[in-house]
């Protein structure tokens, strides 16, 4: 990731504030256009687990990297964070996934993702014992796009359901909903999702309702727990028909919004698995999101447990 001027976003034809899938040639083009960059481990679900582990939760990650340097760095970083990670590496091309992130002066992140080896995660790589042992299976919408990880996630949902576990799903981005919204709506209608995470843009894309309240009303009775973030306006959750809301946590300066939703999900899920009230789950999410937007990168730098203790006691 690298800071950049607003003009560069326009010149490169990027979708400001969104996430675009790119191929190898486009990745090289964008990397050449970047200023001095920082290489930081990421990945939406991996970021959420990093936050959960930092808060003290026991976590395991399932995801595909290649047998290359970036794959080694990712595996090292996630294990160093206390997360179990045993998915075998994938030999040969393509290389490990990477995301080229341009951050404008207002802290807005524009992501360009080469899925690489991650798009070939096979159902056979699932650790179904780990899924059955977890309180919650957490899935990211980004990887619903490629065929193999989509099949793996469907199998993971079945394994969680067979074990009586909860399934949490993050919609990830409006472009994912544009491509796979029918699948997501079907999962919801079938009762396959217990906790759904979205931001206000994704809520509109999924429901077809531009008005926030109308979108919330259209979805809130279809999932047991609906969590919607609204950037600087805070977040709303509806659990079994009961609505709760919290404001965003104050920060001195928004440096980089990369991972804000990922870390919000981490805080919320940490509260959820520890049977905290919904308002407190939302506050935990806001605390974690506030920490992550105060610096570059989508992995926590401050002590999240200390921040939570200072805020909630």
**Residue 153 token pair:** 């996630």
The burial of 277, by beta-carbon neighbours within 10 Å (0-12 exposed, 13-18 middle, 19 or more buried), is given as exposed
In terms of pTM, does the model score above 0.85?
A: yes
Rounded-to-integer distance, Cα 112 and Cα 117, Å: 16
pLDDT tens, position by position, 57-74: 999 999 999 999 999 999
Q: What is the pLDDT of residue 24?
A: 86
Q: What is the pLDDT of residue 308?
A: 97
What percent of the chain has a predicted confidence (pLDDT) above 90? 96
For residue 313, is pLDDT > 90? no
Q: What is the pLDDT of residue 108?
A: 94
**What element of type H or E holds 308?**
helix 304-312
**Residue 295 token pair:** 């610096």
Greatest distance between any 2 Cα atoms in the chain: 51
Of 161, 116, 111, nearest to 139 by C-alpha is: 161
**Residue 181 token pair:** 């919204």
Place of tokens 């809130």: 220
Average pLDDT over residues 174-196: 97
Q: What is the pLDDT of residue 312?
A: 92
**Residue 180 token pair:** 């796979």
Rounded-to-integer distance, Cα 26 and Cα 81, Å: 32
Rounded-to-integer distance, Cα 130 and Cα 126, Å: 9
Rounded-to-integer distance, Cα 39 and Cα 73, Å: 10
Q: What is the pLDDT of residue 242?
A: 97
Q: What is the pLDDT of residue 19?
A: 87
pLDDT tens, position by position, 129-154: 999 999 999 999 999 989 999 999 99
Q: What is the pLDDT of residue 106?
A: 94
Contact 132, 107 (CB under 8 A): no
Rounded-to-integer distance, Cα 198 and Cα 137, Å: 17
**Residue 51 token pair:** 């936050």
Q: Domains in the chain, please, with CATH?
A: 44-95+118-312 (3.40.1190.20)
Place of tokens 């256009």: 33
**Residue 189 token pair:** 């209608």
Confidence class of residue 252 from pLDDT cuts 50, 70 and 90?
very high
pLDDT tens, position by position, 10-50: 999 999 998 898 998 999 999 999 999 999 999 999 999 99
Main-chain dihedrals φ then ψ at residue 221, nearest 5 degrees: -90, 0
Cis peptide before 94 (omega within 30 of 0): yes
Average pLDDT, the chain: 96
The burial of 302, by beta-carbon neighbours within 10 Å (0-12 exposed, 13-18 middle, 19 or more buried), is given as middle
Main-chain dihedrals φ then ψ at residue 81, nearest 5 degrees: -80, 5
For residue 289, is pLDDT > 90? yes
Contact 200, 170 (CB under 8 A): no
Confidence class of residue 247 from pLDDT cuts 50, 70 and 90?
very high
Q: Give the number of other Cβ atoms within 10 Å of residue 259's Cβ.
A: 29
**Residue 216 token pair:** 């919330």
Provide the 3-class DSSP secondary structure of residue 172. Answer: coil
């Amino acid at each position: 990731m690298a800071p950049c001027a607003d003009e560069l976003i326009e010149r490169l034809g990027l979708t400001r504030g969104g996430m675009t899938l790119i191929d190898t040639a486009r990745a090289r083009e964008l990397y050449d256009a970047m200023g001095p960059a920082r290489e930081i481990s990421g990945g939406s679900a991996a970021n959420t687990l990093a936050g959960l582990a930092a808060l003290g939760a026991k976590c395991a990650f399932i995801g595909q990297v290649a047998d290359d340097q970036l794959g080694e760095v990712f595996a090292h970083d996630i294990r160093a964070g206390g997360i179990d990670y045993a998915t075998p590496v994938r030999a040969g091309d393509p290389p490990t996934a990477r995301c080229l992130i341009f951050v404008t002066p207002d802290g807005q992140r524009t992501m360009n993702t080469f899925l690489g080896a991650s798009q070939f995660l096979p159902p056979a790589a699932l650790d179904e014992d780990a899924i059955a042992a977890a309180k919650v299976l957490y899935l990211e919408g980004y990887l619903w796009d490629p065929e193999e990880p989509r099949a793996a996630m469907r199998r993971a949902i079945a394994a969680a359901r067979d074990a009586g576990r909860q399934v949490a799903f993050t919609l990830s981005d409006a472009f994912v909903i544009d491509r796979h919204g029918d699948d997501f709506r079907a999962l919801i209608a079938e009762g396959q999702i217990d906790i759904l995470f979205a931001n206000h843009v994704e809520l509109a894309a999924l429901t077809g309702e531009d008005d926030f309240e109308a979108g919330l009303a259209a979805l809130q009775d279809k999932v047991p727990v609906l969590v919607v973030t609204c950037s600087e306006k805070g977040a709303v959750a509806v659990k079994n028909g009961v609505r709760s809301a919290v404001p965003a946590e104050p920060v001195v300066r928004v440096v980089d919004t990369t991972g804000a939703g990922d870390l919000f999900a981490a805080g919320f899920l940490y509260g959820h698995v520890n049977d905290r009230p919904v308002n407190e789950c939302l506050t935990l999410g806001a605390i974690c999101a506030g920490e992550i937007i105060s610096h570059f990168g989508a992995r926590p730098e401050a002590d999240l447990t200390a921040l939570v203790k200072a805020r909630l006691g």
